[in-house]
Amino acid sequence: MAEKLLEVKNLKSVYKTRFNEKITAVDDVSFDLEDGKCLGIAGESGCGKSTLAMSVMGYYYPPLFYESGIVNISGIDITKIPYNQLRKEILGKEIAYIPQAAMNALNPTQRIINLIEDVMEEHISGITKKEIRKIAEDRFETLNLPKDVLQRYPIELSGGMKQRTVIAISTILNPKILIADEPTSALDVTSQKIVIKLLKDLIKRGFIKAMVFITHELPLLYNIADDIMVMYAGEIVESGEAEEVIFDPIHPYSNGLMNSIIVPEKGIKGKKLTVIPGAPPNLKYKLEGCRFFDRCLFAKDECKISEINMKYVNNRSYRCVLQVDELKEMYEDGKKPATT
C-alpha cells in the first residue's frame, strides 16, 4: 500500500456569525490521500468544499473555527501544533494551496519574482536572490511558462496565465500535497485544458506527490481524479474510485448529479452540477436524519428519523439508509430523478 500523505479524521469546522449562530460547514469529514493519487471533491456551490480545504490547511481565521477532528500531514496532527510551527514547517512546504479566485490572489503591486523570493527566503534559510531567480526561471521553463512573467506585475497577465503562475508559485517548494480549489472555474475551455495538463505534469515530474482537486464541473474530475468524494451540506455522502462514482453512483444525490450528466449523450460533455431541483438545507440549524431528504426522489419516513452513518461496501462508501441493491433496483425501474 502506498504511503498515506494526508489523513483526515472526523474533521468538523464551524463559522460563527456575528449573531452567535454556528454554521457547521464541514461536518465529520474523513478521508486519506495516498502518494501519487489525485482525489476529486465534487459538490454544489456552498456545500463546504472551500471550507474543507481551509480546514485541512489549518487556516482558522475568524469567523472560521476548528471544532474537532484530526488532520495528519506527514505524521503531524496540524490541529494540535502552534500556528508558527504550522506556518514555518507545513504551509507551502508540505501542503500548498491554489485559491478559488486566483485572479485576485496576487498582490497587485508586487512583481511575481518578488513574491517567489519572499516565499523561498521564508522557508529556506540562507538562500540568495540569485539562486532563487535560477530556480524560478528553471521551474517556469519546465512548466512551459514564459520566463519574462517573473518580472511582470499580476495586472499585466491574462487570466489563464495568472492561474498558471499561481500554480507555479504554490508548488515552487515542491510540496508533497497540493490542494487546488476550483482552479479552472473562471477559465475558458482552452485555458482549462492547459491548466489540467499543467497539474498532471506536476505530479508526473514529481514536483508534487498527491493532489486534492475541488470542483463542481464533473467532466474535469473525470479527466484528472483517481478517486472522488461527493460532498453535500458539509458531509461526505459518497466516495469511491472515480470511474465507479461517475458511471455507477450509489447515493441518490450522486445519482442525480451523474444522471443528468451522462444520460443524453454518451460521455460527459460540458455539463455542470447544478441540475437537481430544490436547494440544500441551511447549515445554521441542527439537522436531523438525511440532509438530502427534501430533494430525494426515493426518500422514506425512516430517512428522517435517525442519524445516517456511512455504509462501507467493498472499496466504496455512501451515506444512506437504503441498501445498494434497493437503490440500484429503483434506478433501474426508471424512477430516475428528473433531469431538468
DSSP for 150-166 reads GGS-GGGS-HHHHHHHH
Window contacting another protein (CB under 8 A); options: 13-21, 150-158, 216-224, 279-287: 150-158
Using rule CB under 6 A, residue 40 touches ligand ATP: no
Q: 10 Å Cβ neighbour count for 36?
A: 14
Per the rule left: phi > 0, alpha: psi between -120 and 50, beta: everything else, 123 is alpha
> Judged by CB under 6 A, which of 6, 31, 49, 167 binds ligand ATP?
49
**Which single residue is written with the C-alpha cell 508548488?**
171
User: Shortest distance, CB of residue 173 to another protein, whole angstroms?
Assistant: 8
Distances in Å between the alpha carbon of 210 and those of 5, 136, 195, 238? 8, 21, 16, 21
Q: Which is nearer to another protein, 57 or 276 (CB)?
A: 57
User: Shortest distance, CB of residue 26 to Mg ion, whole angstroms?
Assistant: 12
Distances in Å between the alpha carbon of 250 and those of 90, 240, 273, 282? 36, 10, 17, 24
User: Shortest distance, CB of residue 92 to ligand ATP, whole angstroms?
Assistant: 22
* Number of Cα atoms under 13 Å in the Cβ half of residue 280: 18
What is the rounded distance in angstroms from the CA atom of residue 104 to the CA atom of residue 93? 22
The per-residue b/e assignment along 257-285, b for 16 or more CB within 10 angstroms, e otherwise, is bbbbbbeeeeebeebebebbeeebbebee
Residues from 91 through 120 that contact ligand ATP (CB under 6 A): 100
Using rule CB under 8 A, residue 156 touches another protein: yes
Residues 98-127 as x/- pattern, contact with Mg ion by CB under 5 A: --x---------------------------
User: What cell does 183 get?
Assistant: 482552479
Residues from 107 through 136 that contact another protein (CB under 8 A): 107-110, 115, 118-119, 122-123
Residues from 203 through 242 that contact ligand ATP (CB under 6 A): 216
Q: Which does 169 bind (CB under 5 to 8 A by kind): another protein, Mg ion, ligand ATP, none?
A: another protein
Using rule CB under 5 A, residue 50 touches Mg ion: yes
Binding site for another protein (CB under 8 A): 57, 59, 61, 87-88, 90-93, 96-97, 99, 101, 104-110, 115, 118-119, 122-123, 153, 155-156, 166, 169-170
